[in-house]
Each structure stands twice: as C-alpha cells, then as structure tokens.
Structure 1
Amino acid sequence: MKKIFLYIFFLLAVTAFAQNEQLALNYFEKGEFEKAAVIYKELEQKQPYNFFYAQRLAACYQQLQEYDKATALLSEKLEKTKQPLLLVELGYNYQLQDNMASAQKYYDQAIDAITQNPSAVYGVADAFEKKVLVDQALKAYKTATAINPNMNFDYQMALLEGQLGHMDLMTERLLDYAYNNQRNLIVVQHQLTRFMEEETDGSNFNDLLRKALLVKAQKNQDIFWNQFLSWFFVQQKDYNKAFVQEKAIYRRDPNMFMNIVSLGKIALEENEKDTAREIYSYILENTTDQQLLAEAHYNLLNLDIEAATEKDYEGIKQRIDALLADFGITPYSLDLQLIKAKFQAFYLKDTQAATATLNRALELQLNKYQQAKVKMELSDVLLLDSKFNQAIIYYAQIEEDLKNDAVGHEASLKMARASYFKGDFDWAQKQLKVLKSSSSQLIANDALELFLLITDNTVEDSTQVALKKFAKADFLLYQNKKAEALASFKQLLDSTQTESIKDVTLLRMGRIYEGQGKYDFALQQYKQIIDNFTDGIYIDEALFFSAEIYNKQLHQPEEAKPLYEKLLFGHEDSIYFIEARKQFRLLRGDAVNS
C-alpha cells in the first residue's frame, strides 16, 4: 500500500510539473513575461541543470529589460556547468543592450571553446542559430570541421548560407552533402524544392541549381547525378529533358527501366503528349514484358485516337484488332478491350458493338477494380446512347461496391453528371455537394465546377431555361458530336439573356475551336471572356488557354507573355498557376536551355 501511495504521489507531482511548464509556455507566448518568469524560476530551481528553463527565464528578463538579472542568472549557470552555449546567451544579452564589444567577447569565447572541444559545436552552433546569429553559427561549424575533419556539417552550413543569400554556396554544399550521404537525398531534395517553389520573379535559383547539377554530372560520371537531374527536370515539368536523363541511366543500368515507365505515366497525367508518345514508343522498343507492352500500346492508342480525324478511324480499328489478336482476350489485355469499346462507341458510333465488347469482358475472371472499370465504361456507353436511367444504375453499383474509394467517387461524379445531362439539376446538386470535399483533388475540382455552374445559373434564372439548353449542348459534346454542340452553344449565346451562362458558353466554344485547330476563332471566344467577365470564375482559363495558343500553336511569345503574367498576378489560386509561371519564366528568359 505504501508503494501505491508513493507511485500516486509521483504521478501527481509529474502531472503538476508538466502543467506548470505548459502554463509558463502559454504566458510566454502571450507576452505575459512577468507571470512566465515566476513559473520558469520555480522550474529552473527544481531542475538547475535543465538549460531550457534557464534560457527561457533569461529570455523573460530580457523582454522585461531586466538585463542585470539575465546576466546574473546566466553567469551563475556558466560558473556551475561550464557549458559554452551559455557564453552565446551572455553575449546575446549584451547585444540586446547595444553593447557589441562585450557581446563579441563572449561570442569569441564560445568559438574558442570549440577549438578546445569540437563536440561543443552542437550546443554553441544551435544557440547561435536560435538567436539568428548566422555568421557566428557558420564560424562555429567551420571551426569544428577545421579541427576534426570527420565532422560533417555541410547540410547545416548550406542552410545558413541560404539564409545569408549565398544561394550558390548553399546549392553546392547541399549537393555535396546529398552525394556523400545518399540515404538523406530526399531530405536535401525537400529543401531544394522549397527554394524552387518560393523562387520569386527575377530570382534565378532554378537556373542556378540546374547549372550546378549539370557541372556535377560532367565532372563526375556517377549515375547519381543523372538521377538527380531527372528529378530536377520533373520538378520543372520538363519531362523531355527528364527522359534524356532516364535513357542515360537505363543504358548504364537496365534494372532502372521502371523509372522510364513511371516517367511516361507522369508525362501523360500532365498532358505532355509529345513526350509521353516518345516515352511509350521507347518502352515498346526496349521491353518484352507483356504487361508493359499492353500498357504502352494502350497509351499510344489513346494519344492517337485523341488526335485522329475520321479518315484515321479504319487504321486505328485495325491496330486495335491486331493487338487484341496478339494479346488475347484476357484480364491482362483489359485496357485494350476497354479502349476498343470506347472507340467503337464514341468514334465509330456503334454502341451495340461496344456493349458486346464490354459484356464479353465482364465474363472474364476480374477483380472488383477491373469489374468497376468495365462497368464504368459500360455506363459511359449507355449514357452516350441517351439511356440515362440505365447508366445511373451502373454508376450507382460501382459507387456501392467501392465506397470511400477514388473509383467510387468517380462513379458518383459521373452519376451526378448524367443527372445534369438529363436535366435533373436538384439531384445532381445533392451529389455534387458531397463530392466537393472528395479526397481526390481532380474529382473535387470537377464537382465544384459543375456545382457552381448549376448554382449560378439557378440563382439568376429560377426557371433554368438557359441551363437546360446548355446541358443539352454539353451532352452533345460528351457524345463527341462537336459540330452539333458548337451550333447549340452559338444558338444559346445569341438567344439568352442569362448573363451567368455566357462566359462558360464562350469557354466551351473556344475549346471546341481549339480542338479543331481554328485558333483565331478560339482566341475570339476567350477574348470576350477576358474583356467582359473579369470577375467570373472562368477568367483564369481564358487567360491560360489564350496564352498557350499564342505560345505553342501560333509561336507568338510576345502575345503570350502578358496573358501568362495577368494570370500570375491576378489569379494565384488557379490550377494553371504553376504551368503559367513556368512558361512565363521561359519566355522571359530566366533559364537557358541545356
């Protein structure tokens, strides 16, 4: 029983001590330094060798301008413990009083302590860093490494050089540290990413880093630098240059082939079609793995179908049939079967053949995700055929089978969109309201865009006449009936009095013209949005799409540059912000091509 009472007493004491520490911290953070000092003094007396309490108590005295008390406290601690970090604290106490001569004396003594015992650098340099005494912290690290070369503080010194604005020295030290400590590569890349992302206009950090990496790769043929360069180019969304590095890596180490496959997926996701096409063609030439071959063929077909005109359809159909003859109708060739069904339905307009292809696929031994993919495509085909209710039933099945999964959320979005096409806006809104908070950013963005479209055009026009016409035109676009969709959008624009529907209608028309290669017409639509709907939610898209046309299609960079710039300085929350910044800097000449 006595032991139990002692244990309970101990727990109560520990709890009370922790509560006091938290209370002192709360007072300190609120600026109530007198109250904080009382508690820290009690804590310091109970644990006289806990330097944190002494430092905090000294800080309270300094905030209250009671410098003599801070000096007495720190001097007493220094006398008892002989800890060099307290020399830094004493020096800083004098610096706060504008007595730099005395401050420097103590700082020099702290550095001298490192010459006597290099291990003291950990406490001394940390104390300097906490006081933002960057030069002194650097000097502390340099002193320690001069005496003991086995000590390595490249990482810490690099960050300090960065604080001083010496970006070249910081970069050099970080790269050396990464090479010598490759297990910490991710830590270094994380730091570099921060500087890359925070690069302000006029800064040249990205270019500086690129040049430093190229120099390292030229001087040292280690594959490490090719991998680092590939990482850098991926961060810059320059996937073609990343591919050059990955090919060099693969030639020296064939085991790294999957990095090329991963890069292909990234390029495809980022809509870098030319680079993706080049990567997947390279994969076809350099692997015998059936799964990778099927995946490469699938992605190349998708790219070719997207760019195809009607005269290309027969050739694509023959390619698909030949590939399926080679790979067979198995779960491994499922993606090829799905692309066949999609091509049959949306391009050849043969929904009956597409349905047969998909029903045959459902007879295979598929896992639940593969079944969901087939059902999703089947739902899309039913929707294409204006069988709204049947499509919604299939989408609902997928949603039920894969709750709280990205695929289930995609089915929910498609179900809401089917209701929107059908004109059942109230039900669509209920679904979209939930999907706005989806864990998938893409689904959340699409859900929010459709939600706002319905909401905005219901507020202005409670009868939803214009919205119904827009949804019908949108459905024609979904059916790949672009000419009919364009005519419907034009008719709506000419006849409607609903202002909130006009900018999105212009945007749809611009995208159709752009897809047809009619860039002048596309620019006309976007310009109307830019000129007349500056407060609308589609202004950033109009700016970005216009800039991209001028930059990449018409090769008129001087026309593109102010459009990118307007997006950068007026629409920081746009999903196109990062790509616009990259293109703007390239046009401005911030980076020189390697």
Structure 2
Amino acid sequence: MKKAFIIIALLYSCFAFSQNNFMLAEDYMRQGEYKKAAQIYESLLKRNPFNTTYLKRLVTCFQETDQYLKAETLLRETLKNNPGQKYLHVEIGYNFERQQKMILAKREYEIALNSIDINPSLGGIIGRMFRQNNSLDNAIIAYTKTMELNKNANYQFQIAQIYGEKGEFDKMFGAYIELVDQNESYLGTVQRLTSRYITDDSKNENNVSLKRALLRKSVSNPKDVWNELLSWLFAKQKEYQKAFIQEKALFKRNPEYIDNIITLGKIAFNDRDYAAAKDCFAFLLENTNFIDEKLNAELYLLKVGIETGEKNITQRFDTVLSTYGINSKTIPLQIAYADFLTFKSGNPEKAENILENALSFSKSKFQQARIKLKLGDVLVFTGRFNKALIYFSQVQTKLKNHPLSQQARFKVAQTSYFKGDFKWAMAQLKVLKGSTSQLIANDAVDLFLVISDNEPKDSIPSGLKEYARADLLAYQNKDSEAMTILTGILSKYKGFPVEDEALFKQAQILVKQKKYNEAILTFAKVVALDPQGILNDDVYYEMAELYNKQLNLPEKAKEYYQKIIFEYPSSIYLVDARKKYRELRGDTIN
C-alpha cells in the first residue's frame, strides 16, 4: 500500500512539473522569447515523446528563429521512430512552405493526403493540421477524402467553417445544409452559426445565397427541416408572412408544429407586424382544440385590435369572455380587458369591478399577484394611492425574490413618488437598482435619478412636486393638463435641474400623441440646454428610434445611434444602438 502511494505521489509530482513548465514555455512563446521556450519544450518532449503539442510548439520555436533545418530534422527523426505518424508530413511540408520551397512542400502534402487512402483514421488529424497551418484547400481535400473512405466519418461541420474562413459563403451554406441533411439534431447549431452571416435584409447577398441553397435542397430532397429553416430565415428578415406560409405547410404535415406558429405570432406582434401576428393567431384559433391555445389566440387577436385601433374592442372582449366564461382560465383576458378599459377606454370603474371579481376565484398566488398589480394600476389611475399601495405591498410580501415582487416594489416606489412621498420612493428604488430584471432595474434607475437630481434642498422648492404631478397626469392620459404643468415648470424653474426633465417629458407626450416632428424639436432642446446633461443619451436614443421606426429616415437614425456608440460608451442603450446602427448600415451581424 505504501509503495502504491509513493508511485501515485511521484506520478502526480511529474504531472505537476510538466504542467508548470508547459505554462512557463507558453508564456515565453507569447512574449516572443522562442529560444527560452524551445529549451523547455525540448525537455518536455524528452519526457513525453508522443506528445504532439510539445512537438508542434518546439517546431514553431525553431521556425520563428529561422532554424528550419533543425525543425525538419526533428520532424523526420520523430517520423522515423514512429512511421505511423504520416500526418507529420503536413508539418514537414509547412516547414518548406515557410521557406518558399513550394515544390518540396507540395510533395510532402501529397504524401500526407495519400496516407489517408491507406489509413482513413488519419484523415481527421491531417485535416486539422492543414487548417492550423492555414492550408485550407488541403484541409477540405483531407476531410472530404476521409468521408468518402469512411461513411461513418462526418466533417461537414469543419468543411463549412473552412468555407466561411475562405469567404466562400455559397459553399459554406451548402456544407451546413448537408450537415443538417445527415443529422437533423444539428439544426439549432446550424441556425446559430449561419446567423453570423445573414442580416434582416432579404436582399443581402448571403441571405439570398442561403435561401437559394435551401430551396434547391427542398426540391431535390424534400424534408420538414427545410421548411423550418426557411421559416427561420424569413423571420430573421422580418418577413413574418412568408415565415407563416412555411409554418402552415409544416402544420399540415404535422399538427405538433402549432407551437411554432404561436412563437412566430408573438415575435411578429412584438416587432409590430400586426397583420402577420393576426394571421398567425387567427390560424391558431381555427386549428387547435386546446382551450389554453384558443384563449392565447383570442388574447393576442384582441391585443392586435387595440394596437391597430380597431373599433368595438369592448364588445369583442365581452363576446370572448361570454364564450369562454368568467373563470380562472380567462384571468389573463380579464386583466388585459381591465387594462384596456382603464388606459384606452377611460372606464376604470368597470375595470376595478372585473379585477375584484377575478380575485374571488383566482386559484394561485401568482394569479392573485398579477390581478393585484393591475388592480393597483387602476387605483393609481383613479388617484386612490393608499389602496393601491396595499395591493402592491401584499404582492411584495407574498412573493419575495420573485420578479412579480420586484415589479410590485417598483410600483410602490412609483406610487409614493406620485403622492409626493419622495423619501419612501427612494428607499424602494435603492433596493431595485440591483434588480435581476434589467427592465425593472433601468426603470428604477431612471426614477431614482429624477428624484435625486431634483429633491428640494433647504426647503427651497425645486419643481419636483409639480413634475411628479405632471408625470401622474401623463400616466392618467390627461396629456393636455400634463403639458400645461410642464410648461409652467419651464417658466417658473428656468435654470433648475428639473428643466431638462420637463422638456424630456413634454417630448415623450408628443411622441405618445404621434406629433413626431414636434417631439424631435423638443428632444433637441434638452441637449441644447446642457450638452453634458444626464438625459442626452436617452434623447439620442429616442430620436434615433423616431427616425428609424416612425419617420423612415434611416440615415438620420444612424446619426443618433452613432452618437450613443461614440459619445456614451457606458449608456444602457449602447448594445441596442450598436446593433441597430449595424443593421441600418447593412453589416453582417455576429
């Protein structure tokens, strides 16, 4: 036993010694001290003569110090001692290539490639070594030959990547499609990798190339997976109607694809393609027998109606709830109805009745939490802050550390702010600034800054109370009253920190009223007021979004996204601005 322990200890000691020395040699390599690195690699290779990593590193050290003969001698001696390592001919050839001796290099490469005919198991390592040495055409030959000789070998993935490195994207897409053809489990991986080369522009050369390859494959070898990939591509290009056509074709062959239509409908809705979203959910409603899916479809069809300004939404809600019943399954519909009645239809009393009734039959604490959050919103809308705070606090207490609890805490802070209780609002916001929900964290930071920048000092009015009042009126859709108060703030508190907040809020209300050009002018006043102001990145992002989505002026949008990228590197909008700027510029997004 003691002897075995000593052997294990010695082996571990040798391993630790090798690892430490290898790391030291690697460090010397990074610093360009090849002679020092070579000495260590030589020592390591003597201890481990079959370690190809040490051999490769030592050869590289010799090559970097122009000791090509020494490198060749080492490789040939190793090959002589181990005749089965025919892949070393790749390294010998590369050693010649570095010396511009291309004829000798080619001869060694041919020996390596021919060895695959005798022993196909060498093909993988030979292909890899060619690729490491940037001999990409030879790597493709090695991998292709190996697959021809061994039907169980699959190097389509490596071949596709090499074509990508060569910039031969037609061939790259073809190789990825072959990979999926052989094994459909690679679908997700291929989607992830090909997404690096395509954009949301359907006319982009790579998008066209991928579409062409998929259509060609779907004709020569029809499979559901080609429809899936085409749908995915169309969705990437924001051509949701075309994606829907593919998903319908899949559904007709296999009803399980109904989930894809649900997902597509939600994506289209979130991207404001309401026509495509409506088609998806109308199709879902007609083709499912599951009550949950029907209710989901009804909910989104109503949401589409609200967003597109359809008439008789109240009647449609009543009809749907009459059809499916006022019960626990229709609670999401009831909450959406209450939201519509309050914030769109101006009937908060009916909304309150619906939600209080829903509380009486809700079956889970999460259902109750969602109802109470919306009920609190309705109460804030009607100015009953204390009762709203009770509901928000109940959610916060019962669902600690849950996202709904964080949402409730923010609503407590916001309601306290509307009431003028700024200290309690700040106490809640300080906790929320580290929220796991990025959206809640960002909202908390924004409100925190509004209060902290404008808190009255030494009992001197700062305009914060008036601003909070205007903010509440905007929340209650009393936009003209909000604008009047904000105009008063701009007159009374000129030169105070609240001035830029008031201008920014006016611009947001103008956007809400679809007065986009007026909003642009008002946003510009915020920047003119203070070129170093803390709201300037918010301003630039809002302006970029208006130019991009509402005014259809992509060049102007690029200008403001670019300002965020170069002037505000710590902005919360940086990642989004960079992505949208590159999309507008037509870049391939990685």
TM-score (norm 2): 0.86
Do residues 442 (structure 1) and 439 (structure 2) align? yes
Output the amino acid matched with 2:129: A
In the other structure, the counterpart of 1:562 is 555
State the Cα distance separating 1:127 from its structure 2 match.
0.7
> Partner of 2:45: helix, strand, or coil?
helix
Q: State whether residues 214 and 226 of structure 2, in contact with CA within 8 Å, keep that contact through their aligned partners in structure 1.
A: yes
Do residues 259 (structure 1) and 260 (structure 2) align? yes
Aligned match of 1:403 in 400, 404, 420?
400
Output the amino acid matched with 2:171: L
CA 1:337–1:210 in 2, change beyond 3 Å: closer, same or farther? Answer: same
Q: State whether residues 125 and 140 of structure 1, in contact with CA within 8 Å, keep that contact through their aligned partners in structure 2.
A: yes
In the other structure, the counterpart of 2:77 is 76
Q: State whether residues 561 and 580 of structure 2, in contact with CA within 8 Å, keep that contact through their aligned partners in structure 1.
A: no
Aligned match of 2:157 in 155, 158, 162?
155
Do residues 106 (structure 1) and 94 (structure 2) align? no
CA 1:389–1:65 in 2, change beyond 3 Å: closer, same or farther? Answer: farther
In the other structure, the counterpart of 2:569 is none
- In the alignment, the residues of structure 1 paired with residue 34 and residue 455 of structure 2 have an alpha-carbon distance, to the nearest angstrom, of 56
CA 1:282–1:187 in 2, change beyond 3 Å: closer, same or farther? Answer: same
> Partner of 2:361: helix, strand, or coil?
coil
In the other structure, the counterpart of 1:37 is 38
Q: State whether residues 61 and 69 of structure 1, in contact with CA within 8 Å, keep that contact through their aligned partners in structure 2.
A: yes
State the Cα distance separating 1:41 from its structure 2 match.
2.2
RMSD over aligned Cα atoms: 3.5
State the Cα distance separating 1:124 from its structure 2 match.
1.0
In the other structure, the counterpart of 1:275 is 276
401-410 vs 348-357, greater mean Cα deviation: 348-357
- In the alignment, the residues of structure 1 paired with residue 478 and residue 247 of structure 2 have an alpha-carbon distance, to the nearest angstrom, of 40
- In the alignment, the residues of structure 1 paired with residue 491 and residue 248 of structure 2 have an alpha-carbon distance, to the nearest angstrom, of 53
Q: State whether residues 420 and 468 of structure 2, in contact with CA within 8 Å, keep that contact through their aligned partners in structure 1.
A: yes
| 1:58-97 matched pairs, under 5 angstroms | 58-82=59-83, 83-97=85-99
- In the alignment, the residues of structure 2 paired with residue 134 and residue 294 of structure 1 have an alpha-carbon distance, to the nearest angstrom, of 55
1:276-310: CA deviation from partner (whole Å, max 9, x where unpaired): 2332222223223222222222222233334549x
> Partner of 1:419: helix, strand, or coil?
helix
> Partner of 1:575: helix, strand, or coil?
helix
CA 1:574–1:499 in 2, change beyond 3 Å: closer, same or farther? Answer: farther
Structure 2 gaps, min length 5:
566-573
CA 1:68–1:504 in 2, change beyond 3 Å: closer, same or farther? Answer: farther
Q: State whether residues 564 and 581 of structure 1, in contact with CA within 8 Å, keep that contact through their aligned partners in structure 2.
A: no
Q: State whether residues 21 and 40 of structure 2, in contact with CA within 8 Å, keep that contact through their aligned partners in structure 1.
A: yes
In the other structure, the counterpart of 1:56 is 57
CA 1:111–1:219 in 2, change beyond 3 Å: closer, same or farther? Answer: closer
State the Cα distance separating 1:24 from its structure 2 match.
3.4
State the Cα distance separating 1:457 from its structure 2 match.
5.2
| 1:463-478 matched pairs, under 5 angstroms | 465-478=462-475
In the other structure, the counterpart of 1:165 is 167
- In the alignment, the residues of structure 2 paired with residue 581 and residue 217 of structure 1 have an alpha-carbon distance, to the nearest angstrom, of 32
1:193-247: CA deviation from partner (whole Å, max 9, x where unpaired): 12236x9999632333234334444555432211111111223333333222212
1:383-432: CA deviation from partner (whole Å, max 9, x where unpaired): 22333344334333323333333222322332332233334445544544
- In the alignment, the residues of structure 2 paired with residue 461 and residue 188 of structure 1 have an alpha-carbon distance, to the nearest angstrom, of 63
| 1:348-497 matched pairs, under 5 angstroms | 348-454=345-451, 465-493=462-490, 495-497=492-494
Q: State whether residues 546 and 563 of structure 1, in contact with CA within 8 Å, keep that contact through their aligned partners in structure 2.
A: yes
In the other structure, the counterpart of 2:570 is none
State the Cα distance separating 1:126 from its structure 2 match.
0.5
Structure 1 gaps, min length 5:
552-559
State the Cα distance separating 1:46 from its structure 2 match.
1.6
Q: State whether residues 568 and 581 of structure 1, in contact with CA within 8 Å, keep that contact through their aligned partners in structure 2.
A: no
| 1:528-543 matched pairs, under 5 angstroms | 528=525, 536-537=536-537, 538-543=539-544
1:323-373: CA deviation from partner (whole Å, max 9, x where unpaired): 223222221111122123323433454544433332322222522221211
- In the alignment, the residues of structure 2 paired with residue 426 and residue 103 of structure 1 have an alpha-carbon distance, to the nearest angstrom, of 77
CA 1:335–1:86 in 2, change beyond 3 Å: closer, same or farther? Answer: same
Output the amino acid matched with 1:276: A
- In the alignment, the residues of structure 1 paired with residue 378 and residue 281 of structure 2 have an alpha-carbon distance, to the nearest angstrom, of 28
Q: State whether residues 429 and 454 of structure 1, in contact with CA within 8 Å, keep that contact through their aligned partners in structure 2.
A: yes
State the Cα distance separating 1:275 from its structure 2 match.
2.5
Output the amino acid matched with 2:55: A
1:305-324: CA deviation from partner (whole Å, max 9, x where unpaired): 34549xx5xx3333323322
Q: State whether residues 43 and 53 of structure 1, in contact with CA within 8 Å, keep that contact through their aligned partners in structure 2.
A: yes
Q: How many residues align?
A: 574
Q: State whether residues 382 and 388 of structure 1, in contact with CA within 8 Å, keep that contact through their aligned partners in structure 2.
A: yes
- In the alignment, the residues of structure 2 paired with residue 271 and residue 508 of structure 1 have an alpha-carbon distance, to the nearest angstrom, of 24
> Partner of 2:321: helix, strand, or coil?
helix
Q: State whether residues 87 and 107 of structure 1, in contact with CA within 8 Å, keep that contact through their aligned partners in structure 2.
A: yes
CA 1:46–1:526 in 2, change beyond 3 Å: closer, same or farther? Answer: same
CA 1:319–1:147 in 2, change beyond 3 Å: closer, same or farther? Answer: closer
CA 1:401–1:155 in 2, change beyond 3 Å: closer, same or farther? Answer: same
488-497 vs 322-331, greater mean Cα deviation: 488-497
- In the alignment, the residues of structure 2 paired with residue 360 and residue 278 of structure 1 have an alpha-carbon distance, to the nearest angstrom, of 33
- In the alignment, the residues of structure 1 paired with residue 289 and residue 561 of structure 2 have an alpha-carbon distance, to the nearest angstrom, of 45
Aligned match of 1:115 in 114, 117, 123?
117
> Partner of 1:373: helix, strand, or coil?
helix
State the Cα distance separating 1:464 from its structure 2 match.
7.3
- In the alignment, the residues of structure 2 paired with residue 118 and residue 326 of structure 1 have an alpha-carbon distance, to the nearest angstrom, of 67
In the other structure, the counterpart of 1:546 is 547
Query: Which one scores higher on RCO, CA 8 angstroms, separation ≥ 6?
Result: 2
Q: State whether residues 544 and 576 of structure 1, in contact with CA within 8 Å, keep that contact through their aligned partners in structure 2.
A: no
- In the alignment, the residues of structure 1 paired with residue 457 and residue 97 of structure 2 have an alpha-carbon distance, to the nearest angstrom, of 64
CA 1:563–1:529 in 2, change beyond 3 Å: closer, same or farther? Answer: farther
